[in-house]
Chain A
Amino acid sequence: MIPISWYLILAAALFSIGLFGVLARKNAVAILLGVELMLNAVNINLVTFWRYNAPETVTGQVFAIIVFAVAAAEVAVGLALIISIYRNRNTIVADDLDMMKW
């Protein structure tokens, strides 16, 4: 059986890639993509810990499915916001969206 650390390393790598995307990209869609990657890294962690620690229950799977649902909803709202911003401002570069700045 594949040791648990492999899964955790994969998840950590995926999380770091997502975090980098969120922090480094200027495009709002890309930032959203980064967030999705971080969420999926969490999912991998959840499923891994469930499989290795308490395979007799379904809690880990259920948790993962709830995260999917939340992520889907979040993407839907987030993309709608971005489209709305694009229509109004003709840009989706995060740095240009500075209306609330002093």
Chain B
Amino acid sequence: METTNLIWLLPLPPLLAFFIIVLFTNKSNKLSHIVGVSAAALSWAGAMVVFFRALGVDHFGEHPFTDSIPWLPLGDGWLEIGVRIDPLSAAVLFFVGITIFMIFLYSVGYHNFGQPKGDHDKQGLPPHGATVEDEHGHKHTVPSVEPMYARFFAFIGLFAAGMYTLVISDNLLTLFVGWEIMGLCSYLLIGFWFAKKSARNAGIKAFMTTRIGDVFMLLGLAFLYTATGSLSYEVIFSEATLHALAATPAFWGLSAAGAIGLLLFIGAVGKSAQWPLHVWLPDAMEGPTPVSAMIHAATMVSAGVYMTIRIFPLFSAGWDHHTLTPAMSVIAFIGAFTALFAATIAIAQNDVKGVLAYSTISQLGFMMAAIGIGAYVAAAFHLITHAFFKALLFLGSGSVIHGMEHGVLHTGDHSVDPQDMRNMGGLAKKMPITFWTFLIGGFALSGFPIVTAGFWSKDEIFADAFAHHNYTVFIVLAIAAFLTAFYTMRQITMTFLGDAKTPEAEHAHETNWTMTTPLVVLAFFAVTFGWVGIPEDFMNLSLPTNWFHSFVGHTLPHPMAAPEFSWIPLLTSLAVSLGGLGLGYLTYRNFKAGAVDPMRKILGPVYHFIENKYYFDEAYDYLFVKPATWISEVFTNKMDQGVIDGILHSFGAISFSIGSTIRNQFDTPVINRFIGDGSAEVVQIFGRWLRKAQTGRIQQYMLSALGVLFIIFIALYYLVLA
């Protein structure tokens, strides 16, 4: 098949899967997951074909796969939409395809396919377990199948379709379409267990928070379209357009290019959960774990970073490679600040997914900071390695939770939270595959030297920051990386090492193959994917060419040179990752059940502050949610019920009084009295009078008839005959 046709078809299988499941197969769990997983496999296979064909093209950056069709007729021409796979989107397609496929496969096991229906499971609540009797007559509680199993596959199918649409787009409009499809799906999936109030609220929060970003993004799109008359990458990233935009002043000392870039970036801030719009992402953990992996690793948050990398030429227009443009400084600041800020919160989280949520925010901050300082390739590299190891970590944490839930069902003590790391411990022996893959993912996240992918991508960001003399960003990111290693090791130590802290943890056991296979596959990539981006002058050795840098770097017309090798960033990187890991292990290795967190003793009151996420939720509640509620209430009670309803009610009252006046003054006395009752009374009087003639005596009637006959005869005689 023609490559461009194949690219057009990529989002189709999951989209069709969504409709097939919703319309036809929703009654059958088996058919639904077959449809869902095979659609994901098909899209993945297509993505792989496209990716490998892209590798075969010389100077792929100058000759990307593009195709477009006229879509909307406008006043003077057509709005064209199309597909475009250039080195950046090819690389993104690579990880999107594989992670989506793995997550689909994982969901089969995570939602307990093949297990009996729950004893009292309801739609909208997580499954509670089912009681079964074995051949000896013993009763066991086993996990039960998710009540809305088919629906889940429909939703993630739509989600995957949104992500593919976004990646293959050759313009910001269809990118925005895919972006919004994912926004909807994240709402649906975070609130998947809608009978839980917290899940419902989390879904609304995620939707509303990302909506704030999306509104600005839409403004940016409108601005861009007004300024250039196009949203296609081809046009807006052309030298002439960028020059024109960079020369046009907009507001607050920004050029038009910078202003548009920043507006679009605010969209990414919402989508990729950067400070100050990060609040939705931790709450999004209310959804099922594959959703967390889907949102936090493979798709939605990556979409924000992907878009920011995409529009890099816009906000960097006019950059002289020494002083950052204002827009770049803003992005670098937000990214670096978020990286550090979220890393500190992650230290004090006890929910196994909560740690990962904040670590995702922090890692996305790394990427944003990298783009902000112009490290285009490093950001893309970290985006991809992060997608692999974070998907791995989330799926691993899902596996841990699943194992713990098994323990909870075994002991029957439902007061134990299977997500709280303080209840775990010693799981390494119980769940070896999960442990080893989680360890790989965790080490990749911490940037464990040489072997893990996270090391190479993070190292490239450090090297770029250092080489371009952005020392503030460099130091902030180094501290964040240290904290990252620390909380990762804390998590691994609390979860997997030491002794089991609860009987539930003792009875946890390894999950089935549909869950462990994705872990192994992702672990493979979490290690090896880093090797495609090893700088050729690493430690002043002469290594093969940095494939990733030369491939993705050529997405830009003028690829940036890789930073020169320097020992300082490398040593910093080694120190923070190994130091963080070691310190984390030392601090938490003796952590006992029910003991106070060691960091609480060290940090004192600060810990309390961190534990509550710097009170951002509370602050937003006071600043935005409460006033909004207050205004709505004022409007409902005063404006709507008082003024609007008052006007309407007064109309009613006026009509009523006119009506009752007419009734009392005219209808009742005149119409009823004279015409209605009057005519009836007249008839009645006559009737009463006339009925005396009706004696009922036949002879009297005949006599009167005879009398009348006589009168007629006499009349006839005189009138006619005479």
A32 to chain B minimum Cβ distance, whole angstroms, is 12
Residue of A nearest to B698 (CB): A94
In the complex the two chains form, is A101's CB within 8 Å of B699's CB? no
Across the two chains, which residue of chain A brings its CB closest to B691?
Answer: A102
Residue A98, interface by CB 8 Å: yes
Question: Which of A19, A23, A100 has most chain B Cβ within 10 Å?
Answer: A23
Give min CB distance, A19 to chain B, whole Å. Answer: 8
Q: Are A101 and B702 in contact (CB under 8 A)?
A: no
What separation, in Å, do the CA atoms of A82 and B691 have in the docked complex? Answer: 27
Q: Which residues from chain B sit less than 8 Å from chain A, CB to CB?
A: 691, 694-699, 702-703, 706
Does A14 make an interface contact (CB < 8 A)?
no
Contact B697 A95 (CB under 8 A): yes
Contact of B699 among A24, A98, A102 (CB under 8 A): A24
Is A22 an interface position by the 8 A CB rule? yes
Question: Smallest CB–CB gap between A82 and chain B, Å?
Answer: 13
Report the Cα distance A22→B698, complex, angstroms: 9
Across the interface, name the chain A residue whose C-beta is closest to B700.
Answer: A23
Q: How many residues on A have C-beta within 8 angstroms of the other chain's C-beta atoms? A: 11
Is the CB–CB distance between A23 and B696 below 8 Å? no
Cα of A94 to Cα of B701 in the assembled complex, Å: 13
Residues on A with C-beta less than 8 A from B697 are: 94-95
Main secondary structure of the interface of A (DSSP, over half): helix
User: 0/1 per residue, A18-35, Cβ < 8 Å to B?
Assistant: 010011100000010000
Chain B contact residues: helix, strand, loop or mixed? helix
Chain B contacts for A100, CB-based, 8 A: 696
Contacts of B695 in A (CB 8 A): 101
B694 near A23: Cβ-Cβ < 8 Å: no
Decide: A23 and B691 in contact? CB cutoff 8 A.
no
**Cα A23 to Cα B698 with chains together (Å):** 8
Q: Closest CB-CB distance, B578 to chain A, in whole Å? A: 119
Interface residues of chain A, those whose CB is within 8 Å of chain B, are 19, 22-24, 31, 94-95, 98, 100-102
**Are B702 and A22 interface neighbours, CB within 8 A?**
yes
In the complex, are the beta carbons of A102 and B702 less than 8 A apart? no
Would you list 14 pairs from A and B whose C-beta atoms are within 8 A, ordered by A residue? A19-B706, A22-B699, A22-B702, A23-B703, A23-B706, A24-B699, A31-B699, A94-B697, A94-B699, A95-B697, A101-B694, A101-B696, A102-B691, A102-B696
* Distance (whole angstroms) from the CB of A41 to the closest CB of chain B: 15
Q: When chains A and B are docked, how far (Å) is the Cα of A72 from the Cα of B691?
A: 36
**A22: chain B residues within 8 A (beta carbon):** 699, 702
Q: A101 vs B700: C-alpha distance in the bound complex, in angstroms?
A: 14
Chain A residue numbers with a CB within 8 Å of B698 are: 94
4 additional A-B pairs beyond A22-B699, A22-B702, A24-B699, beta carbons within 8 Å, are: A94-B698, A95-B697, A101-B696, A102-B694
Name the residue on B nearest A94 (C-beta). Answer: B698
Shortest distance from the beta carbon of B618 to any chain A beta carbon, whole Å: 89
Q: Nearest Cβ distance between residue A74 and chain B, in whole angstroms?
A: 16
Within the assembled complex, what's the spacing in Å between the Cα atoms of A1 and B113?
A: 128
Instruction: Please name all residues of chain A whose beta carbon is closer than 8 Å to the beta carbon of B699 when the two chains form the complex.
Output: 22-24, 31, 94
Q: Which residue of A lies closest to B699 (CB)?
A: A23
Q: How far, in angstroms, from A94 to B703 measured CA to CA in the complex?
A: 15
Q: B694 — which chain A residues lie within 8 A by C-beta?
A: 101-102
> What's the nearest-Cβ distance from chain B to residue A38, in Å?
11
Closest to B702 in A: A23
CB-defined contacts of B703 to chain A, threshold 8 Å: 23
Residue numbers in A under 8 Å from B696 (CB-CB): 98, 100-102
* Minimum C-beta distance from B160 to chain A (A): 89
CA distance A22 to B691 in the complex (A): 24
Report A100 CB to chain B, min CB distance, Å: 7
Chain B residue nearest in CB terms to A24:
B699
CB-based closest 7 A-B pairs: A101-B696, A98-B696, A23-B699, A23-B703, A23-B702, A102-B691, A95-B697
Tell me which residues across on chain A come within 8 A of B702, comparing CB atoms.
Answer: 22-23
Q: How far is the CB of B293 from chain A (nearest CB, A)?
A: 94
For the complex, give the distance between the alpha carbons of A26 and B698 in Å: 10
A23 to B699, CA, bound (A): 5
Task: Specify which of B694, B695, B699 lies most central, judged by the most chain A CB atoms within 10 Å of its CB.
Answer: B699
Q: How far does the Cβ of A85 sit from chain B's closest Cβ, in whole Å?
A: 13
Min CB distance, A23 to chain B, in Å?
5
A39 to chain B minimum Cβ distance, whole angstroms, is 15
**Nearest CB of A to B270, in Å:** 90
Write the chain A residue with the least CB distance to B703: A23
Q: Which residues on B sit within 8 Å (CB–CB) of A31? A: 699
Instruction: Name the CB-closest residue of B to A101.
Output: B696
Residues of B near A98 (CB, < 8 A) are 696
- Chain B CB count within 10 A is highest, among A19, A24, A95, A98, for A95
Task: Quote the shortest CB–CB distance from B574 to chain A (angstroms).
Answer: 121
Tell me, in angstroms, the Cα distance from A31 to B697 when the chains sit together: 13
In the bound complex, residues from chain B placing their C-beta under 8 Å from that of A95 are 697
A88 to B698 CA separation, bound complex (whole angstroms):
20
- State A102–B697 Cα separation when bound (angstroms): 12
Closest to A99 in B: B696
Q: Once bound together, how far apart are the Cα atoms of A22 and B702, in whole Å?
A: 9
- Bound-state CA distance A31–B702 (Å) is 12
Residues in chain A near residue B706, CB distance under 8 A: 19, 23
Chain B residue at minimal CB-CB distance from A28: B698
B693 to chain A, nearest CB (A): 11
Instruction: Select from chain B the residue with minimum beta-carbon distance to A95.
Output: B697
Residues of B within 8 A of A24 (CB): 699
Residues of chain A within 8 A (CB-CB) of B691 are: 102
